[in-house]
Structure 1
Amino acid sequence: MIFNQRGYMTTSMNDIIKETGIQKGGIYRHFKDKDQLMIEAFQFSVQIMQQHFVSMVEPCKNTKEKLNVFVEAFFDLSRNKPIVGGCPIFNAATEMDDLEGNTLIDYIDQAMDELKALLSNIIHKGLQSKELKEVVNPDEASIFIISTLEGALILYKLKKDEQIITSVHHHLNHYFSTIFYERQ
C-alpha cells in the first residue's frame, strides 16, 4: 500500500481490484472503506509475523536459544519470510511517522508494543531462571535488540548486502554473551 503525506492510502481501488481479483462491490461488502482495508491488511501482516516468531521461539529449551532463534526469525523478514517486504511494523511506522492522528498510528504502536513484550518476556524468564545477569533490564534490552534488528533490515533493504545481516548477527551474539552467566 502507498500513503500520501497526510497518511491516507493512495493505492487506488483499481490497483486493489487488479491485485486481488475481487470486484469493488466485493471489497466494500467486507470493508467499509479504504482505511478499514488498510488497518486490516496491516493487522493481518503483523499477525503472520507474530505467529512466525512464536512458532520459532516456543520449542526452544533455554533463553540463549530463544534469543538466537528470535534473531533468526527476524532476519527471515529480509528473506521475505513469512511475508514479503520486511517488517510490517517498521514499514508502516516509517510511512506514518509524522502523521499525528492517523488511524493506523495506534495499531502500529500496539504491534510494536506486542513485539517488544514478546522479547521482554523471553528476557524476563531468563532472569527468573538465573540464566541472565541481574543487571539486564528486559525492556531496555528489548528496545536495543529490536532497534538493532530493524536497523539491519532497513540497511539490508537499501544495500542488498548479506554482510549487513551477518555483521549485526555477530554483534548481537557478542551482546548476548555479555548478559548471560557463564556456565561451567
Structure 2
Amino acid sequence: MNKGELTRQRIIEEAAPIFNQRGFAGCSMQDVLEATGLEKGGVYRHFASKEELAAEAFQYAWGRVVKERRQGQDAIPGAVGKLIYTVRRFVETPGVLPGGCPLMNTAIDADDGNPVLRGLVCAAMEDWKARLASIVEEGIARGEIRVGVVPRRVANTMIAALEGALMISRLEGNRTAVQDAGEALELILGGLAA
C-alpha cells in the first residue's frame, strides 16, 4: 500500500467504531477529524462524502466481524457441527468493535433514511444467510442433515435468535439472553441430524 492508501485505510479503521456507536446521523465529520487528527481536506481527499466514508466503515467493520466469527469453522467436521460452532462463536466471542454488532446497529440506523447503508446491510445479511444455508445444503447432500430441512428457515432462525438475543442482552447489560439463545439453538440444530 502506498501512503495515500494507508491513510485512507486508517481513516476507515478509526471512523468505524464511531459510526458503529453513534450511527450515521450521530457521527459528525468533526468526530472523524478528531479521531484521525486530520484536517477536513485530508479526509475529503479520500472520501467524497460522509456517506461514502460510512459505507466503507460499515464494510470494514462487518468484514472484521465475519472473519472473527468464522475463524476455525473450516476445521469443524460435519454440517451440524459447523452450525453449532457458528452459534458458539457468536455467543462466546466478544464484539470486535465498541458498540456491538455493526449489522444490527447499521440496519436500525439506516432503515428509514440511508439507502446506501441499507443496501450494504441487506447485502451483508443475504451473504450471512447464504453461508448458513449453504452449510445446511451440504449437510443434506452428504446425508448428515435430514431431507426436508429448509436451509433458508434454519439460517433465518439462527440469525433472528442470535441478533434478537444480542439486542436483549445489550438492553439488560448482561449476556444471559445471548447464552440462552445459544443453548436453545444448539438443541434445535442437534435435532437436524439425519
The answer to whether the 8 A contact 1:56-1:73 is kept is no
After TM superposition, the score normalised by the length of structure 2 is: 0.82
Identity %: 28
Deviation at 1:49, TM superposition (A): 1.4
The answer to whether the 8 A contact 1:124-1:138 is kept is yes
Report SS of the residue matched to 1:170. helix
Match for residue 118 of structure 1?
Answer: 131
The answer to whether the 8 A contact 2:62-2:103 is kept is yes
Per-residue CA distance 1:57-112 (angstroms, 9 max, x = gap):
122121122112111222246x22x333222111111112233x622111110010
Runs in 1 of length 4+ with deviation above 4 angstroms?
none
- State whether structure 2 residue 171 is matched by structure 1 residue 155: no
The answer to whether the 8 A contact 1:56-1:70 is kept is no
TM-align CA RMSD: 1.7
After TM superposition, the score normalised by the length of structure 1 is: 0.86
More helix by share: 2
Q: What runs of 5+ residues in structure 2 fail to find an aligned partner?
A: 1-18
Q: What runs of 5+ residues in structure 1 fail to find an aligned partner?
A: none
- State whether structure 2 residue 65 is matched by structure 1 residue 52: no
Q: 1: CA distance between counterparts of 2:192 and 2:42? A: 53
Match for residue 119 of structure 2?
Answer: 106
Match for residue 57 of structure 2?
Answer: 41
C-alpha change, 1:87 and 1:56, in structure 2 (3 Å) is: farther
For 2:36, give the aligned amino acid.
T
For 1:96, give the aligned amino acid.
A
- State whether structure 2 residue 140 is matched by structure 1 residue 140: no
The answer to whether the 8 A contact 1:60-1:66 is kept is yes
Q: 1: CA distance between counterparts of 2:140 and 2:99? A: 34
Residues matched between the structures, number? 174
